[in-house]
A and B are shown apart, each in its own frame.
Chain A
C-alpha cells in the first residue's frame, strides 16, 4: 500500500468514527427507562386542600411548574421517607447537572387525620427546600386520588394504631396542571434523572 492510500484509509476511518459518535450523541435520550408517559395528559379535578402553611391547594396550585407528586403519610417509616429521599436526591443531581427546569416535590397525605399542616411542614422541609406538603379533609383527598387512580386504605396495626396502604407511584404534573407521566415503584434516583428530561421534552 502506498503512503497516499494509507493516508486515505486513516482519514476515512476517522470520518466513520466521528460519524458514529455524532449519531450516538444526537440519538440520546429518547426512551424512558421507568416513566410511563400518558398519551393524552389529563387535567386535575376540582378539589380543595391546604398546604403546610395553611394556604389553599387546588388544581391551580399545580400550574406554572413541574410537580412530582407522591401520596404517603408521615408515620410511614420505610417506603415514604425512602421515596421522598430518592426524589430529593434526584432533584439535587439535576441541580448539580445544571438543569434549568427543576420539579417541585409534593407529598399529598393519605392520612390527613394525623398529618396536620404543621407536621407535614416539618416532614417535607426535612427533604429539602421548596417542597409542598398537602393535607386537609379526607373527602377532598379522595376527590384527587380517585381522579388519578391512586389507591389508599387504612390498615389496622394494633390497638388504635394504624398504617395506610397506598399506591407507591409518583405522578408527574406538567406546568399546565395536567397529569402527564407516572413513575411506578420501586423508584431509583438514576431513573428519575434519566427520564425527567425525556418527560419534560415530550411535553
Chain B
C-alpha cells in the first residue's frame, strides 16, 4: 500500500504538470508547511538514483500565527523496515525565508525510504516526513 504522503506528493506533482516539481507536506503537529524537491546533478528529479548523491531542497513556511523563525533544520533519512538510516551525513544549509537544502544525501539501497526533516524554532523541534519509494 502506498502511504498517504507518497500519494500527496504524486498529486502535487501531477497538478504541476507532472514534471519534477515541488511537493508539499505538513509537519506532524501542523506547525509548518514543508515544500521539497529532489535535485540530482543540479537538475530536479522525481526520484534519486540509488547509490548516487542528491540534494533535498526545502521551502518551509509557518502555518500558525506568531510562529518563530526557523533556527535550524536537520534532514535525515531512514529505512524503517530495515532499521537503518543512510551511510552518510548530509551537509545542511539554512537560508533566509525558510529555505534550506541538504546536500550529499545518498540512498544506498532500494526500498522504502522515509525522509525526516526536523524544524527547530528555538523552542521545539517539529518533524515533517514523507516517504520515497525506491522500487
Q: Is this pair of chains taken from one and the same complex?
A: no
- What residues of chain A have their CB less than 8 Å away from a CB belonging to chain B? none
